[in-house]
Structure formats: C-alpha cells, structure tokens
A and B are shown apart, each in its own frame.
Chain A
Amino acid sequence: MNQFNVWRTVFIVGAALGFGLCVILLTSQEPGVAVHAFFVGPFSNTYFFGNLLASAIPLVLTGVAACVSFSASVFNLGLEGQVYLGSFLGVFLAWRFETFPPIVLYPFVFSIVFCCSGLLAALSGYLKIKRNVNTLISSLLISYIAIYLVDALIETVFIDPNAGMAATPYFSDRFLFAKLLPPSDLHAGLFLALIFTFSLYLVMKKSVFGFEIALTGKNPTFARYTGISVSKILMLSMFLSGGFAGMAGMIDIFGIHGRMIRGFSNGYGWNGIAVALIARNQPLWAIPSALFFAYLENAANVGALLSDITPEIARTIQATIFFTVTAETLFSFVRKKKGGEAWTPSSTASSR
C-alpha cells in the first residue's frame, strides 16, 4: 500500500472510533468509566489482551478467504456457511478418530476440512460455469442451507444432553491447541493462521497462479484471451476461499471451544469481508485489519463487563466502518475521475 492508502485507512479507523466514542457518551451514565473501559480495557491485562488476539485469528483467515475471492472478482458470500461446516466437520472427525495421535490427526483433519469447505464454495463456482447462476446468490443460499443443516445435526443427533446450550460433546482434550497466554484464550492456532496468511501472500504475489487470479479479477475477457482458463480460476479461487473459511472455524474450535457450539461463529464471514475490504484485498494487510475488528468487538465486551454500555455497540461501529470503507473508496474515485457516471454493476455482469 502506498502512502495515500495508509492515510485513508487511518482516517477510517479514526472515524469509526470517533463514532463509537459518541455512542458511548450518549448512552452511558458514567461516560468516563465507559470510555476507558471501551478503548483501553482490551489492553489492560493479559486476559483481555490475549482474548483480543485470539478473536482476531478467525477474522484473519476469513479476511484472507475474502481477499482471494475478491481478487478474482468473485463474490463469495457464503463464508459464514463455509466456516460453520468446516468447524462441524473438524469436531466430527476429532471424535471419530480419537485414537489418532495429534501429529497425525492435525494434517488429516485440516486437509479434509479445507477440501470440504472449499468444495462447498466451489459448488457455487461450478453452478456459475455450468448454469450461469450468479455466485453471489448461490454462495449465499448454499451457506444458509449448510448452516441450517449443521444446526439441525447439532440440535438433534449430536447434541450433548449435559450442556446447558445447543452444543455437541467435547472431543478429546489432547487435540486442543496449546494455550499461549493463560488464562486468556490465545492459542497456538495463531501461528497456523500466520503461516497460512503468509503462504497465500506469497502465492498471490509471486506465482503464476496468483497472477492469473488477479488478472481474471481485473478483466476476465482479457484473461481468457491470453489463454487463462477463467472457469478453472473461478473454481480454484472459490475453493481456496471456502477452504480458508473452513480453517478459520476449525482453528477457532481446536483452539478455544473444543466442541461445536451453535452460532459460535456468527459474523466471522461478514466481518471477514469487511476485513478484506479494508485490507484492499492484500492478504498481509488482513492481519492488522482483523486485529482492528477484533479490537472493536473486545472493546465492546470489556466495556459491557466493566461499565454500563451494551456490547451491541461493537456491531454498530463495525457497520459504521463498512460505511467509512465505502467512503474510502470514494477518495480514490474522486481523485481519478470527475464527471460521468457512477460505477454500477448490473447483477449479471460484475458479480460472478
């Protein structure tokens, strides 16, 4: 990112935080405490800070997932479902193969989860190629279906009667990732996330495949003209995207929860999209971007814990960021063009 982009991002961050500040001041009876709890709270001790980092991990991965699909100009809106399915599958496999040693189980489960959630996303790509179904819509629909299916399974067949909520029984403890900063939730999955992100970065920047994805995203007609198989790129980018999303959920489960809990990953997908947008589809920038989002979430929770504000504030602020992200886009456009018409994708042409 060049210097201009950095300033823009700073602006977004500032605007969002400013908005949060206003909301707190308006809704809290003890604004001073609330503001402090909100803004500083997450850093105030290892517990909060560790949790902050832990909650950023899945966001990095879903952010990266969104980056891949957006780079190819494919709208993968099914991230939520892909995360959910991947998580459940991970839990299921962890039970089934309880007897495996972790060293064997991890690569085994990871690759299966990656492939399955990847295939779920790739299904949308396939439908686009064969039946020209809009990927935006199909990925969304498939995602909803997947979520309901998994929910149905969790609530009936796999339910843990002893749990106080809709959740499955725990799988074996030894599969849980090592905790890095007890008593917080931060776990070794952090390293996995970083490795994955960095690998994707390398692929996108330096490989022919990454070049093909980027070119397909910029002008698919031209990409085809140069000999790139656009359908292959479409499927592969969706596959990768879904795969990363599945990993996001799975790593979260293996790191923190140890079982499948209904709704645990709500918002991972949508926030991942926001992360990718702020990061301008650059995998490496997804890391600070995800950290920021996680910061907001945690700030609200800590704030709610330590003062009288409601945690929903985070949601509203995150949404405001979305708006300011679009304002960010406005800066680049205002600079380049003046006069003419707004960019208006028709629903068949640009969303794939």
Chain B
Amino acid sequence: MKDIGKVFESNRTVALDHTNLRVAKGSIHALVGENGAGKSTLMKILCGLERKNAGEIFIGGVHKDIKSVKDAYDNGIGMVNQQFRLIEDYTVAENILLGVEKINRWGFINQRESLRRVQALMGTSCLSLPSETIVSELTMGQRQLVEILRISNRSVDIFVLDEPTSVLIPQEIQRLFLIIRELKTQGKTIVFISHRLEEVFEICDRITILRNGRDIAEGPISGFDKKQVSFLMIGEYPGALNTKRPAKDHPVLLKVENLSVRDVHGKTEVVRSANLAVRQNEITALVGVSNNGKQELVEALVGLRRVASGNICLRDRELTGKTVRDFRKAGIAYIPEDRTGVGASISSSILDNIIATKLYEIPYSKRGWINRKVARKNAESLVREYRIKGSAIQASLDTLSGGNVQKVILAREISSDPSVLIVCEPTWGLDHRSSDYIYKRLAELAGSGKAVLIVSSYLDEVMFLADRIFVIYKGEIIAELENAATLTKTTIGELMLGLGAPLSYVCPSDRQGETNRELPR
C-alpha cells in the first residue's frame, strides 16, 4: 500500500497521511501503533470496508482497485475484525458460507454440499466446531474460529487479524498462534494488528510501526527490541508508573450477597448467587469471559438491571431494587463498556452530556427549572480540568475525538464524587498518554478513600492495577484473589475458563509494605 491518505469527514481528523505498508508473501507481519494511530483504518481500506482518499494498492506487483468487500475477497484479502461480524441467529455452517452458499441446479441451497464444504474446510485447517450450533451459543474464541474459517472459505491468501487477542484468554491466544503458524506453512500471509508487544514479538516476522497516521519504521522483528518499538510507537520512553498503596485489610464499601440476575426473558439465571466485596482504598477487578454474567452483574450493581434475589449494600445501606437515580445518589458512578451507546448521547451537546446526571440537583436546577448559567460554568471548569480539547461546550459530542469523548464521560462520573466508581474496559481505545492519565486518576481515587471496581479483559492491566481480583464463571463468582507476586495471568485465565480450583481462595499474601509495579510493555 503506497501513500495512502484518509480523512474522516465526521470529525475532520486525518487518519492516514501518506502511509506505506509493504508485506512479504508468506510472512506474519505485525502492524503496530497506539490506539488511533491508523492501523485499523489502513486495513479497513485494504479490505474494502473504507474508501481511501489517496494512494494506491498493489498486490503481487499489480495495481488493484479495491472498492468493496467483494473486491477484497476477489483479490484474496480477508479481515477478521476486532468486533466479530457474525450473524448471531445463524449456525456456524451458515455463517461460514454466508455470501457464497452452495447451490444446486435450481438455484436453491444444497444442504449436503454445504455440509461437505464446511467439513472439508475444518479438515484442512485442523479446526473443529460443531457446524450446526447457533453462533450466539459460542464463546468468543470459538467465534473467532468461525470468522477465520469464513474467510478461508473465500480462498483468501492474505489474512488480516485486527487485535485478535483482545477478547481471548491466554490459552485461546496460544491456540490462535498455532493456527497462525499453520496458515503460514500453507503459504498464507498474515497481517497481525496489535498493540500488545509481547505477542507481536512472539509470533511475527516483520513489523511496521504507525504513529499518527504515518508509517515511521519497518523491518524484520529481529532488528528491534521492545523498548525501541515502544519508543517509536509513542514518541517517548514510557515511564514506570508508581502505584503505591499500603496493603491492608480495608473496610468493605460495596457488598454484594447471593445476587442472582435473570436474563432478558426472565427465565435463566445469568448471575447465580454471586458474592462480591469492593473495599475502600482498593482497586478491585472483576474478570471473566464474555457471556458468563460479567456484564449483567455490573449492570445490576448500578441499578440498570433487575435483581432476582440477593442484595446489594453500600455502606450498609440496602440498594437492591432501587432505581438508577437512587444508586447514583447513594454514590455509585459507572463508566460503561459501550461508551457512546450507553455512556453518552452523541447527538447531544457536550454540555448536556456533562450535566445529564446531576441536572435534577440543586445548583443546576431549582424546582424543575434549569439554571443554564450554573450548568455552563461548572461544565466549562470540568472541561478545563480534564483538558478536553476540541469544540465549544455547546457543540455536539460527535465533533470530539474518541479520546476526548471518553474524557467527557470520565469527567462526568468522577466529578460526581462517588464512593464507588465502576469502570468497564478503562483504557479501551485510548492512546498511551490517555491510558496513563486514567491509571493515575483511578489510583488517586483509590488512594483518597474511595473504592474502584474495574472490569477489564486486558489481564496485564488487571494485574497492574488491581489489589483484588474476582473471577466470574458461568454466573458464579468462583474465586477471589489477592494480587500477589505469585499470581500469574495463566492462573487467572484458567479460572476464567472454569479449570482450576473452583473455590474461593486467596493467594498467600507475601506483600509487605508498598508495591512498585511496572506495566509490561
């Protein structure tokens, strides 16, 4: 890909600026960069999901014009997105064959041929999945396999994997690497997009580094070391973050006892008799594989989901069954995983987004009538404090960049002075500097007598931040772990998968005094 340019109209950001990428056939090529550097955009252009504004694409030396997903497939390029694009209601087989179903003479679907094709595919790639299962019943790791099979089915030579490991647990990551290596031996080319450097160094042959929409370095992986790559990605040497917190037994602020939550239809329990305690002055983490009740539990903790049985208490005040507003008034703030769908209203103004949760309270409104002046003043000071850059406060939220939108949400939730802050995927989509800022803020909160609950699928982050880790599996909290030096990601991963001792155990606490941790980069 040569001199690719791309500008996004919606927020006038330049995503790619004369970007180049050269991938050798049969190699595993890493494309790294911070969040927002342009990696996904570049690949989306290659795969027909976005249109470039400038530049050219050459495949095998021949100039190609890729204008749609179909063009990409015709040229042997397929991509597995970070968020899987599978039809939940269809079976594995139907998804794999979507778009290129096997038909017989009369034009309708040939079931036998379809099945045969799917079996053949699974055979050649040494993967096996029950082909008649409906996708919504599969785990994330399995869904990824379906995606890979789907693009294999299109006779793809270039596999683009966009942040494939972000939804996987350690064991699944290893399985993925096996698959990638197998594909390589079959002569396929892999483009591996990631910002997790240990993985990149483990599996890739060559690397291209993007920063701010430009490619700034390229070469065989052996020619780089991690520190160098970090430096190139970020533009500076990453400092070691100090999170000093005395290790003590802190009082419990938010206590969850025997909580059960039913699913939307009210039939099956997705959370079963869960017990959780979030302590003051601590950062607690909740980890679990998707679809194991993690999201539902969190929603129950903020009042967004009905509780079937059990209770939630904040400082001995019963909150079960109360409204969302009661939860907020009691001092619980929540930053949801779906920032723009749940956590903000992108068509509303920045001002509205900031004040939405506190509008009914005294300084902002009196007896039902809004005091715009006070609202503006407070919102503007928050914007200054959190350094939210971009537009005037009356401008609509979608004029801000992703990072700034997150800051707005953060500002709103933290400024409400909560006793407990619940954050899901704290650094999702953020670049290095913003991530550090969030970590600092969270540590500050924990240090000043509040409690923080993070829900993250990024185990490195969890190990770095959390004092205590709860693991949820099939709706039950099966382990409560203290974050000791002996705790490994693999152990957590095993628990998340349901292997390993299914009882509450606490690692021997051999930490004394202060801890000085460095986030592995």
Contact = CB atoms under 8 A, between A and B. Distances in A.
Complex A–B touching at CB under 8 A: yes
Interface of A: 206-209, 211-212, 214-215, 218-219, 221-229, 336-339
25 contacts: A207-B368, A207-B370, A208-B370, A209-B368, A214-B348, A215-B352, A218-B345, A219-B344, A219-B347, A219-B348, A221-B341, A222-B341, A222-B342, A222-B356, A224-B304, A225-B304, A225-B324, A226-B324, A226-B328, A227-B323, A227-B325, A229-B325, A336-B9, A336-B10, A339-B51
A71 B92 CA distance: 42
Contacts of B343: 222, 225
Given A207-B368, A208-B360, A215-B356, A337 B9 contact: yes
B293 interface: no
A222 B345 CA distance: 6
Contacts of A221: 341-342
Top 6 closest A-B pairs, CB basis?
A227-B325, A219-B345, A226-B356, A226-B357, A227-B324, A222-B345
Contacts of A337: 9-10
A222 B324 contact: no
Contacts of B356: 215, 222-223, 226
B321 to A, nearest CB: 14
A208 B371 CA distance: 10
B334 A225 contact: yes
B348 A218 contact: yes
B336 interface: yes
A255 to B, nearest CB: 32
B434 interface: no
A253 to B, nearest CB: 33
A213 to B, nearest CB: 12
Nearest to B338: A221
Nearest to B398: A336
Interface in B78-137: none
A208 B359 contact: yes
A226 B345 CA distance: 11
B41 interface: no
B309 interface: no
Interface of B: 9-10, 51, 304, 323-325, 328, 334, 336, 341-348, 352, 356-357, 359-360, 365, 368-370, 372
A227 B334 CA distance: 12
A211 B369 CA distance: 10
Contacts of B10: 336-337
B370 A229 contact: no
A222 B9 CA distance: 25
A336 B9 CA distance: 7
Contacts of A338: 9
A224 B365 CA distance: 19
B336 to A, nearest CB: 7
Contacts of B365: 208
B85 to A, nearest CB: 14
A215 B324 contact: no
A211 B352 contact: yes
A212 B357 CA distance: 11
A225 B369 contact: no
A214 B347 CA distance: 11
Given A227-B324, A229-B323, A336-B10, A211 B370 contact: yes
Contacts of B328: 226-227
A215 B348 contact: yes
A338 B10 CA distance: 9
A93 B356 CA distance: 43
Nearest to B336: A225
Most buried by B among A207, A219, A225: A225
A228 B323 CA distance: 9
A339 B346 CA distance: 19
B416 to A, nearest CB: 11
Contacts of B370: 206-208, 211
B140 to A, nearest CB: 23
Contacts of A214: 348
A338 B347 CA distance: 18
A178 B344 CA distance: 50
Contacts of B345: 215, 218-219, 222-223
Contact of A206 (B334, B341, B369): B369
B359 A211 contact: yes
A208 B341 contact: no
A208 B304 contact: no
A208 B369 contact: yes
A336 B346 CA distance: 14
A227 B413 CA distance: 13
A227 B357 contact: yes
A77 B365 CA distance: 33
A227 B360 CA distance: 10
A262 to B, nearest CB: 41
B323 A225 contact: no
A106 B217 CA distance: 80
Contacts of A211: 352, 359, 370
A229 B328 CA distance: 13
A21 B207 CA distance: 67
A218 B398 CA distance: 13
Contacts of A215: 345, 348, 352, 356
Contacts of B342: 221-222, 225
B101 to A, nearest CB: 23
A209 B328 CA distance: 19
Contacts of B51: 339
A222 B125 CA distance: 43
